[in-house]
Amino acid sequence: MVNRRQIKFIFILSIGLLSLSILFQNCAKSNITNSGAAVSQQTILESKSIDILNQKCSSCHSESTGAANSAPGADPITNISDVNYLLRTRLIIPGEPDLSPIYQSVRNGDMPVNESLDTQEIQTIKDWISGIKL
Ligand code: HEC
């Protein structure tokens, strides 16, 4: 026979299981939103960085101008605002801004020639490269 104590026990057990399952559901949901936010932050950094490279660098480092703007013996940079090109030619090392020639050149104030990017633009490019994961 099931007595009152056992009914009470089963009741409390079911409430416990129910709240546990609700708790886990919420955890799973909040993980999804968090990683979604991280992805879009990186997307924003990337589009800002590509804008900077387009506006401040591509006039000298495009298909038509690259060869004229390279150090003697160095491979010309022909497509400075194309992420896949930058990764393939190792002008950007994922997660390693200080090892990436693109970041080194703006950090050191070497590029663009005869001017330099402002602190915020330099930081944007740094954060973008730091966040690239392959
Ligand atoms: C007015 C033309 C001009 C602009 C604009 C320009 N560059 Fe350059 N860049 C050059 C020349 C010329 C060289 C080759 C000589 C040298 O290395 O100093 C060069 C070389 C480079 C190199 C090869 C390695 C190095 O550090 O010398 C990198 C990387 C580079 N540029 C990145 C950039 C980036 C990033 C920008 C924009 C923020 C940029 N450049 C804008 C003319 C330009």
> Tell me, what's the pLDDT at 37?
74
User: What DSSP state is assigned to residue 95?
Assistant: T
* Segment 56-115, tens digit of pLDDT: 999 999 999 999 999 999 999 999 999 999 999 999 999 999 999 999 999 999 999 999
Helices 119-131 and 4-56 cross at an angle (nearest 10°) of: 130
Q: What is the rounded average pLDDT of the residues 24-31?
A: 58
Cα–Cα distance, 95 to 128 (Å, whole number): 8
Residue nearest ligand 1's atom 33 by CA = 111
DSSP output for 55-71: HHTTTTSSTTTGGGGS-
Cβ atoms of residues 86 and 80 within 8 Å: yes
* 47 C-beta neighbours (distance < 10 Å), count: 11
Is the pTM above the cut of 0.85?
Answer: no
- Domain positions in the chain are 37-131
Band (pLDDT 50/70/90 cuts) for residue 122 is: very high
115-122 average pLDDT score: 96
Residue 131 has pLDDT above 60, yes or no: yes
> What is the CB < 6 Å shell around ligand 1?
56-57, 59-61, 69-71, 77, 91, 101-102, 105-106, 110-113, 117
Of 92, 102, 113, the one to substitute when testing ligand 1's pocket (max ligand atoms within 8 A of C-beta) is 113
